[in-house]
């Protein structure tokens, strides 16, 4: 039996469909602990490549005999070689095509919401936990939290027979490269961002807008202090039905206010955001964040990452009934200590002050997001 390749899409389909998946990850232990393919039906075995090339039979008794084994490494070469060795031992093996780089870049789309005024698509970048959106209304399309893979937006817009006219970033992301500026140039669209974020290229400062109307869509710009990485973040409230919450509110928690080194000071601003602004938004509003931490627990029965604000409030006691002191103390204790890998380089690229190759960008982005990993819960 010859060794076959398995794609990131096929692995993701198995996870979404909750099929059992056995992964032999041959990267170094530290890399594996830091970032791996996760899912409720995924079983892992991590044995570094250098151990296996000495004697692959060392792990024979740890491998399933009647199930395909997906072998994973960073780039592809090592996993393919190990898969071949195991194949010779009689195991059913496949190697991840393109390695973890391909997992990092795999994206699929799903429909989130549709009514007479708009249709919303969600783009899920599963290996990074990044979420991006297209709103289609009339003959126009709006992109929110654009990823750098801009072709997928152009292709969907062409399929929907609409023109991309407005592009929004809630803040300067620290874990991935934004495609906003490039997409705006390509489509001759307006790119909106807070001026206070420090970008040096041409864009529309969100400070100048309280509301932006596009076809049958009304976008209310909610200035949000220090929800995730930055003091210049915003959320977008669309047609009083959908809250694009950036890195302020996640399906299972609140954004981390600690990356600027001012956890307690910024937690006070986050308290005001949650208790003054968010508290006035109705329970039935659907929250669509910019990131997620765990697909299996955060994807809903309709297949997208999102939930009603009422359900999120119920799951997070800290969002109601807390004094400012209680809230700040809890958030400060929950603040993460680890920062996104390469976040300074990524921010520099997103600000337009650093220009690098596509290969360097891909390298910067390897690894997990750390925006939605450390949620803030009460108790």
Going along the chain from its start, the domains and CATH numbers come out as: 4-102 (3.40.250.10), 106-334 (3.60.15.10)
With beta carbons less than 8 A apart as the criterion, state whether 125 and 146 touch. no
How far is Cα 315 from Cα 110, in angstroms, rounded to an integer?
Answer: 25
How far is Cα 37 from Cα 141, in angstroms, rounded to an integer?
Answer: 32
pLDDT(316) > 60 = yes
Q: Hey, how many other C-beta atoms are within 10 angstroms of the C-beta on 323?
A: 10
Question: What pLDDT shows up at residue 122?
Answer: 98
**pLDDT confidence of 165, banded at 50, 70, 90?**
very high
With beta carbons less than 8 A apart as the criterion, state whether 125 and 131 touch. yes
Residue whose entry in the numeric block shows the structure tokens 């360097």 = 360
The residues that are catalytic are 73
Question: What pLDDT shows up at residue 336?
Answer: 56
pLDDT(229) > 90 = no
Say which residues have a Cβ less than 8 Å from residue 96's Cβ, sequence separation at least 6: 5, 6, 7, 8, 11, 70, 71, 72, 73, 76, 79, 102, 103
Question: What pLDDT shows up at residue 261?
Answer: 60
pLDDT(193) > 60 = yes
How far is Cα 250 from Cα 248, in angstroms, rounded to an integer?
Answer: 7
- 40-74 b/e (C-beta count within 10 Å ≥ 16 → b): eebeebbbbbeebeeebeebeeebeeeeebbbbbb
pLDDT(291) > 50 = yes
Render pLDDT for 60-99 as a digit per residue (tens, 0 to 9): 999 999 999 999 999 999 999 999 999 999 999 999 999 9
**pLDDT confidence of 285, banded at 50, 70, 90?**
very high
pLDDT (average), residues 40-68: 94
**pLDDT confidence of 294, banded at 50, 70, 90?**
confident
Average pLDDT of every residue of the chain = 89
pLDDT (average), residues 212-227: 86
pLDDT(34) > 60 = yes
Question: What pLDDT shows up at residue 315?
Answer: 86
Render pLDDT for 242-279 as a digit per residue (tens, 0 to 9): 999 998 888 987 876 655 566 777 788 888 888 888 88
> Higher-confidence residue: 95 or 340?
95
Question: What pLDDT shows up at residue 230?
Answer: 64
Q: What are the phi and psi torsion angles at 345 (to 5°)?
A: -65, -40
How far is Cα 227 from Cα 274, in angstroms, rounded to an integer?
Answer: 9
């Amino acid at each position: 039996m010859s060794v076959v390749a398995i794609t990131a899409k096929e692995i993701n389909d198995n996870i979404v469909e909750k099929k059992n998946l056995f992964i032999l990850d041959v990267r170094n232990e530290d890399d594996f602990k830091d970032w791996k393919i996760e899912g409720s039906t995924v079983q892992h075995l991590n044995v570094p490549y250098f151990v296996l090339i000495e004697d692959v039979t060392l792990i024979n008794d740890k491998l399933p005999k009647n199930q395909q084994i997906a072998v994973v490494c960073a780039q592809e070469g090592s996993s393919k070689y190990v898969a071949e060795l195991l194949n010779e031992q009689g195991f059913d093996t496949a190697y991840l095509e393109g390695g973890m780089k391909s997992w990092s870049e795999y994206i699929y789309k799903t429909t989130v919401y549709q009514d007479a005024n708009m249709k919303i698509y969600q783009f899920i970048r599963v290996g990074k936990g990044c979420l991006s959106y297209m709103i289609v209304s009339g003959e126009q399309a709006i992109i929110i939290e654009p990823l750098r893979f801009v072709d997928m937006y152009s292709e969907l817009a062409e399929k929907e027979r609409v023109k991309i006219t407005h592009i929004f970033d809630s803040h300067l992301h620290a874990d991935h490269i934004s495609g906003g500026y490039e997409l705006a140039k390509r489509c001759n669209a307006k790119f909106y961002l807070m001026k206070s974020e420090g970008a040096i290229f041409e864009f529309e400062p969100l400070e100048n807008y309280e509301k932006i109307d596009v076809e049958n869509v009304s976008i209310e710009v909610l200035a949000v202090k220090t929800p995730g990485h930055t003091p210049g973040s915003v959320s977008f409230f669309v047609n009083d039905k959908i809250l694009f919450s950036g890195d302020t509110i996640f399906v299972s928690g609140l954004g981390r206010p600690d990356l600027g080194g001012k956890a307690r000071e910024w937690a006070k601003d986050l308290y005001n955001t949650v208790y003054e602004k968010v508290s006035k938004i109705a329970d039935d509003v659907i929250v669509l964040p910019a990131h997620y931490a765990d697909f299996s627990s955060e994807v809903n029965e309709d297949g997208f990452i999102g939930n009603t604000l009422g359900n999120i409030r119920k799951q997070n006691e800290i969002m109601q009934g807390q004094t400012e002191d209680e809230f700040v103390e809890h958030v400060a204790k929950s603040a993460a200590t680890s920062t996104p890998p390469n976040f300074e380089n990524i921010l520099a690229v997103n600000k337009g002050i650093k220009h690098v190759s596509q290969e360097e960008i891909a390298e910067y982005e390897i690894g997990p997001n750390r925006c939605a990993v450390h949620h803030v819960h009460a108790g």
